[in-house]
Amino acid sequence: MPRFLHTADWQIGKLFGQFEPDEAALLAEERFAAVERLARLAQQHAVDAVLVAGDVFDAQTVADRSVHRLFNAMAGFAGPWLLLPGNHDAALAESVWTRAARLHAIPPNVRVCLEARPVLVEAAGMAVLPAPLTQRNTFNDLTEWFAGADTPPALVRIGFAHGSVQGILAEDIDAANPIAAGRAASARLDYLALGDWHGTRRIDARCWYAGTPETDRFRANDSGRALLVELAAPGALPAVSVLASGRYRWHALSAELQVASDVDRLLAELARFGADDVVQLEVGGRSDLAGHRRLSDALGQARGRTRSLVAELGALQLEPTVADLEGLAADGYLGEVIARLQAAQHGAEPAAAQTARDALVLLAGLLERRAPGAAAAAAAPGGDR
Amino acid sequence: MKLTRIRVDQFRQFRRALEIDGLDAGLNLFTGPNEAGKSTLVAAIRAAFFERHRSASVDDLRPWGDPAAAPTVALDFELDGQPCRLVKTFLAKKRCTLQIGGETLDGEEAENRLAALLGFQHAGRGASKAEHWGIPGLLWIEQGGAQALREAVGHAGDHLRGALEGALGEVAASGGDALLATVEAQRAELLTEAGGRPRGAYKEALEAEVALAGELGALDEAIARYRQRVDALAALRAEHAADEAEQPWRAFRAHQQAAAERLAAVREREATLAAARTRAAQVDAQLALLRSQVDGFAREDEAAAARAAALEAARAALDSVRAPLEQWTARRVQAAQALETARAALRAARQAEARDSLAREAAASRTRHAAGAAQLARAEAAHAQVLALQHAVAANELRPADLETLRTQDRALADLRLQQAAAATRLVYVLEPGCSLELDGDTLSGAGERRLLAAASLVLPGLGRLQIAPGGADLAALAARGADLEARQQALLVRLGLGSMDAAERRQLEHARLGGELATAQATLDALAPGGIDALRAEHVRLQARAAEAAQALARLTAPAAAEVAVPAAAVSVADAEAAEAAAAHALAAIQEGLHRAQLAAANGETALAAAARELAAARAQLAAPERARRIAAASAALTDARAEQLTLAARSEALAAEIAAARPDILEQDVDRFRSSAEQLEKRHAERRDQLVRLEIELQSEGAQGLEARRAECARDHARAARRAAELRRRAQALDLLRSLLRDQRRALTRRLQAPLQKHLNRYLQLLFPHACVEIDDNLVPGPLTRPLAGAGGGLETGDFEALSFGAREQMGVLSRLAYADLLAEAGRPTLVILDDALVHSDAERLAQMKRVLFDAATRHQILLFTCHPAAWRDLGVGARSLAALRGLNAVV
């Protein structure tokens, strides 16, 4: 009764330039930790093998240190690992795989499927048909040969590929590395283990994308998982269970503030985020000074709590109320300046409007700091991304 | 605002309480000497308003040596018609209360209210400084600080604008200037003041972004190159593997081998052909030799026959040349005789010619001798004549000098006679006929005249004698000179042998005639004997000898010739004889030549005959050789064999050549080259590709280890961060820039609205100090250039900056300006209190008098506290002075 762990898209060596360096370093580090967790899961569930369906490395020329670290991270599971080259780490003439081999980094229990040839894992009762990418991108269906390949009837037939199942994923990403829909059926596969799509996704009963074990972008949904696949016998339907393997949860939020309670709702949402959350926030609409200040305070606190918080308030228009202005003691010509900036932030020219908004926030901050009796601890409203 | 009461306790020198009550709503004059406490009182009022009661920086308020003191200031004043009381205690008992009407405020709240009402700020921490004092700082003039107007106005600017805006019905900005300064400072961190160009952190961020973008581009390029080469590696490997499997050069090597073999076969045939051709050439040579051999035998027979014929011909030729030889010999003898005869005739003719010549010469000599003799005779006669004439000439000679002397003497004598005649006494007489007179013996009769040169005696017959003496002495001198001259002439004539002057003249003529004759005779002689008479005589002797010699030679020649004259024909001339002799000699030579040739021909003929005979004998001997017949037969047989071999060889060569031509050895050679080169190319490419592969593998391996893409990811991360930072700073810079320009614009607009009323008030005061002067207010509401009439009655204007005025004038202007501000504030309904601490001490009496008018006028609108240590100077202010010393005494009593 073969049982194996299906994972993919480890993207070892990926950096996260959109974050501050310390945060980015931690996120990059976590990808190794994710592999360690996968090894533990494999150990816990006593699987017969682990299949990694492509994009193990994020790039061909990662540092030697990263190569060593990766294979070390896999040490937690001593059973067979099958690695498949994907588009990021294709089996080129000179590749990360040839280098890993030269470095003697690949332990004996790890097998890299560099050729389109059946791999028999007799102990696990599995015959694996790999479709490694030997070019960065190909427009041929590399899984075509599966149908014509014979495997011992006692072994389950596992397809192993990296690419886009045609007609399923969004139009704009299925151009390269196509895989025919229904390949599992047409090639008499018991299971087709796929990589490339970073979210966990069931294509049909025998065909799954495992997704990346550690989320690496805001866009991918349902990532940070691995699949535990059990096949009772050749021809039986696979039993697939989804295991959590990721640590960080990535959230992309956008909020349109119009009334004071909108700020409350946004703040409530921010309050939920903790140390394993990576948050991207875009705020638009309009707010009075008090709302802006509350939001700024909340963002400052959230930044301290979360792994990373990137907030863009550039689209948020500042609409000081009469009370705000009194609070700021922005009388006389300062009031006039504020009025002009307020008007300018609605200007037709986006750059000028943005500058006016920035100037308004800046001025409010200066006035607030100056105003007697104003909250001295109020965070400066400027400087948010 | 009107102060009504001031109470100070435990405050510096006021260790005990001092209270001043009943302050006037207008002017209040406080006097006292130094140290009397004027400034302390002012300090107390300032501290009450400006210093926080909780401030720890006010130690200077307590009296010396009293650490437990609680300096207290209590002020009663009226504000907007409401009675107010401020009590402030520092240090030991920090307390502050403010009552406004019924309202009571405590602590900080009280202080803040006070600051808002009066228009000033409290210090954030530490002691209050000038920049916090606002409007009171402007109106409360510290000792010696009246002229420092610009700073005070600067610190009060916002409060002034705020306070005065009320008058204009608008709201001003609190702390606008401070805000603007902050904005400007923050902007200056990012942008340059002048061009608004990035600077500092902003500039660094932009540069960092650009640098990283460049680095990123370079890495992208490197990665693209790396990837291309990885692809190239794959392609090379595929090609190499295909080559290894196919080994395409092998087929070419096989083709090369086959072609080479075919070529070798052809080469063999070519060698055979060459051998055949060599043999054919040898046979050809042999043939030629044999043929010439056979021909040689035939020629020998022909030669023998020819030799026989030649011998006959030689013999005939010898006979034909021998015949003329005898004829030539005979004719030679005749010619020799003829020559001898001609020579004899020539000799005779030459002798005859010589004799004739001598005879003619002898005759000529005789003739010349005779002519010479005649000439000599004539010459000798001429010579004799010349000698005679020379003698005659010598005898008649009269020297021209002597003759001239004679002629001179003669003219002198004649002259003398004329003088005597002129000086003589004329004696004219006319005598009666018959009567005579005797004069010195001469008898005179008739009429006549006598000149008397000397004393004369005239005898008058019958009468006696008359002695006449001519007058004058020169007559005697003349007579003496006449006698002398005559004597000298006579002597000369005697010496010359002449009788008279005439004789001298005649001799001179004779002499000339003789000279002419001599010349003629000489010429005749010269013509006859040009070389002289002696040369003529020698010539005559020579001619005579010559004639004798010629006669002798003729005589000698004639004698032997006479015998031969008759023998040959006498009529033969020498020339003819010579010609005949030459002709005879010539004829002999010609004949001699002919004879010689005939002799040569005969000899040649004999030699030829002998040779012909020898040759014939040799030819005949050859023909007679015993081996000759056998050799002729052998040669003929060999010739036949050689011809047969020649034909065989020709046929074989042709066949071989055709075979070789059909095989095309040149093309075969090319084939070998082509196949070899093709194979080599393939092999070489294969080897090269293998090397290239190794090289590329090594390069890619080492480059891959550099982690290009990892570095790119890092670089991209850094670049994204740099770009974010640059964008943030750009937005901040733009926002600050916008803010600054808006704040400036608004502030400027506001200030402009305030300038006019302030100017009005200021100019009103100014008229009291400088009639007809006016002053401009600048953007900071500070008096600017002052324009006033020039000193004196000129009527012109002068304009100068406030700062350019004298200290005293600036002080006065400072007070005026503050009063103008106070007016402006009062109009705006703001509290005003003016304090002057020892102000205007630098003003002269006249100006001070004007300033007193100003102050008195201002006091009608504002409460003014004036402190001075010169009570006398302010006595005419119109108010009673309060002596601080007196007050203290009074209080002490209280």
Q: What angle do CA B71, B75, B78 make, to 5 degrees?
A: 165
Interface A-B, measured as beta-carbon pairs within 8 A, has a size of 157
Retrieve residue A133's tokens.
Answer: 């990418």
In this predicted structure, which of A312-316, B374-378, B472-476 has the lowest mean pLDDT? B472-476
Q: How far is A223 from chain B (nearest CA, A)?
A: 22
Q: What is the distance, to the nearest Å, from the Cα of residue B322 to the centroid of all Cα atoms in its chain?
A: 107
Around A34, how many Cα atoms within 13 Å sit in the side-chain half-sphere? Answer: 31
A385 lies in a domain? no
Retrieve residue B95's tokens.
Answer: 């307390």
pLDDT of B788 reads: 80
Asked whether the beta carbons of residue A333 and residue B178 sit closer than 8 angstroms, the reply is no
State pLDDT tens for residues B406-420. Answer: 888 888 888 888 887
A34 lies in a domain? yes
Give the DSSP per-residue string, B453-520.
-S-EEEEETTTEEEEE----SHHHHHHHHHHHHHHHHHHHHHHHT-SSHHHHHHHHHHHHHHHHHHHH
Asked whether the beta carbons of residue B703 and residue A61 sit closer than 8 angstroms, the reply is yes
- Higher-scoring residue by pLDDT: A59, B804: A59
Give the DSSP per-residue string, B184-252.
HHHHHHHB-TTT--B-HHHHHHHHHHHHHHHHHHHHHHHHHHHHHHHHHHHHHHHHHHHHHHH-THHHH
Within 8 A by CB and 6+ apart from B252, the residues are B675, B676, B678, B679, B682
CATH code for position A173: 3.60.21.10
pLDDT of A247 reads: 92
What average pLDDT is seen over chain B? 83
What average pLDDT is seen over chain A? 86
A319 lies in a domain? yes
pLDDT band (50, 70, 90) for residue A169: low
pLDDT band (50, 70, 90) for residue A378: very low
Is residue A296 scored above 70 in pLDDT? yes
Residue B609's region, left for phi above 0, alpha for psi from -120 to 50, else beta, is alpha
pLDDT band (50, 70, 90) for residue B208: very high
B-chain CB neighbours of A55 within 8 Å are: none
A384 lies in a domain? no
Within 8 A by CB and 6+ apart from B689, the residues are B236, B239, B240, B243
pLDDT band (50, 70, 90) for residue B1: confident
Q: How far is B781 from chain A (nearest CA, A)?
A: 16
For range B291-301, the mean pLDDT: 84
CA distance B114 to B52: 11
Q: Pick from A84, A6, A85, A72: which is nearest to A36 by CA?
A: A72
For range A228-250, the mean pLDDT: 92
Give CB contacts under 8 A, 24+ apart, made by B839-844: B839/B141, B839/B143, B839/B146, B839/B811, B839/B815, B839/B866, B840/B146, B840/B811, B840/B812, B840/B815, B841/B144, B841/B870, B842/B807, B842/B808, B842/B811, B843/B808, B843/B811, B843/B812, B844/B808
Fill in the amino acid letter for B441. Answer: G
What distances in angstroms separate CA B289 from CA B95, B277, B296, B297, B418, one per listed residue?
Answer: 164, 19, 11, 13, 161
B-chain CB neighbours of A315 within 8 Å are: none
In this predicted structure, which of B603-617, B688-702, B752-766 has the lowest mean pLDDT? B752-766
Asked whether the beta carbons of residue A330 and residue B697 sit closer than 8 angstroms, the reply is no
B698, B717, B744, B750: best mutation site toward chain A, by most A Cβ within 10 Å?
B717
Q: Pick from A162, A51, A31: which is nearest to A111 by CA?
A: A51
**Number of folded domains in chain A?**
2
Asked whether the beta carbons of residue A92 and residue B234 sit closer than 8 angstroms, the reply is yes
pLDDT of B597 reads: 87
State pLDDT tens for residues B557-580. Answer: 665 544 444 444 445 677 887 888
Among B233, B731, B743, the residue with its CB nearest the CB of A94 is: B233
State pLDDT tens for residues B528-562. Answer: 888 888 888 888 888 888 888 878 877 776 655 44
State pLDDT tens for residues B127-180. Answer: 788 778 888 888 888 877 777 777 777 777 777 777 666 555 444 555 677 788
- 8 A C-beta contact, residue A264 and residue A226: no
Domain boundary among the residues A244, A265, A292 is at: A244
For range B585-594, the mean pLDDT: 87
pLDDT of B698 reads: 85
Asked whether the beta carbons of residue B175 and residue A329 sit closer than 8 angstroms, the reply is yes
A-chain CB neighbours of B177 within 8 Å are: none
pLDDT of A225 reads: 92
Asked whether the beta carbons of residue B701 and residue A329 sit closer than 8 angstroms, the reply is no
Same domain, A262 and A282: yes
Asked whether the beta carbons of residue B710 and residue A61 sit closer than 8 angstroms, the reply is yes
In this predicted structure, which of A16-30, A231-245, B442-456 has the lowest mean pLDDT? B442-456
Domain boundary among the residues A195, A214, A244 is at: A244
- 8 A C-beta contact, residue A206 and residue A65: no
Residue of A nearest to B231 (CA): A93
> Beta strand A249-257 with A81-83: parallel, antiparallel or unpaired?
unpaired
- 8 A C-beta contact, residue B611 and residue B617: no
Q: What is the distance, to the nearest Å, from the Cα of residue B356 to the centroid of all Cα atoms in its chain?
A: 105
A29, A89, A94: best mutation site toward chain B, by most B Cβ within 10 Å?
A94
A-chain CB neighbours of B752 within 8 Å are: none
Among B112, B162, B717, the residue with its CB nearest the CB of A332 is: B162
Is residue B95 scored above 50 in pLDDT? yes
Same domain, A213 and A296: no
Same domain, A264 and A279: yes
Most confident of A198-202, B120-124, B406-410: A198-202
Same domain, A186 and A127: yes
Q: How far is B228 from chain A (nearest CA, A)?
A: 11
Is residue B15 scored above 50 in pLDDT? yes
Residue of A nearest to B236 (CA): A93
State pLDDT tens for residues B734-788. Answer: 889 998 888 888 877 777 777 778 888 888 888 888 888 888 777 777 777 888 8
B-chain CB neighbours of A92 within 8 Å are: 230-231, 233-234
A277 lies in a domain? yes
Same domain, A202 and A99: yes
pLDDT of B567 reads: 46
Q: Look up residue B67 and give its DSSP letter.
A: T
For range A23-38, the mean pLDDT: 92
Asked whether the beta carbons of residue B742 and residue A370 sit closer than 8 angstroms, the reply is no
- 8 A C-beta contact, residue A1 and residue A230: yes
pLDDT of A381 reads: 40
Structural domain boundaries enclosing A320:
250-379
Domain boundary among the residues A199, A214, A244 is at: A244
Q: Look up residue B175 and give its DSSP letter.
A: T
Residue of B nearest to A12 (CA): B710
- 8 A C-beta contact, residue B423 and residue B470: yes
Same domain, A213 and A130: yes
State pLDDT tens for residues B780-829. Answer: 777 778 888 776 656 677 787 777 788 888 888 888 888 888 888 888 77
Among A15, A17, A333, the residue with its CB nearest the CB of B750 is: A333
pLDDT of A241 reads: 93
pLDDT of A8 reads: 93
Same domain, A111 and A134: yes
CA distance B404 to B561: 82
pLDDT of A373 reads: 45
Among B176, B701, B724, the residue with its CB nearest the CB of A333 is: B176
Q: How far is A66 from chain B (nearest CA, A)?
A: 9
Same domain, A233 and A96: yes
Is residue A125 scored above 70 in pLDDT? yes
CA distance A297 to B829: 42
The residue behind tokens 């690695």 is A83
* ipTM > 0.85 for the complex: no
pLDDT of B793 reads: 57
pLDDT of A376 reads: 36
Q: How far is B748 from chain A (nearest CA, A)?
A: 10
- Higher-scoring residue by pLDDT: B794, B270: B270
For range B591-615, the mean pLDDT: 86
pLDDT of B561 reads: 47
A-chain CB neighbours of B724 within 8 Å are: 385
Retrieve residue A300's tokens.
Answer: 């400052």
State pLDDT tens for residues B828-887. Answer: 778 888 888 887 888 888 888 888 888 888 888 888 988 888 888 888 888 888 888 887
Q: How far is B711 from chain A (nearest CA, A)?
A: 8
A-chain CB neighbours of B190 within 8 Å are: none
pLDDT band (50, 70, 90) for residue B473: low
Q: Pick from B335, B356, B353: which is nearest to B576 by CA?
A: B353
Give CB contacts under 8 A, 24+ apart, made by B348-355: B348/B564, B348/B567, B348/B568, B348/B572, B348/B577, B349/B568, B349/B572, B349/B573, B349/B574, B349/B576, B349/B577, B350/B574, B350/B577, B351/B561, B351/B564, B352/B561, B352/B565, B352/B570, B353/B574, B354/B557, B355/B554, B355/B557, B355/B558, B355/B561
Same domain, A103 and A236: yes
Asked whether the beta carbons of residue A60 and residue B171 sit closer than 8 angstroms, the reply is no
Domain B1-118+870-893 carries which CATH code? Answer: 3.40.50.300
Same domain, A208 and A293: no
B-chain CB neighbours of A353 within 8 Å are: none
For range B454-462, the mean pLDDT: 80
Q: How far is B745 from chain A (nearest CA, A)?
A: 9
A138 lies in a domain? yes
- 8 A C-beta contact, residue A55 and residue A177: no
Residue of A nearest to B697 (CA): A94
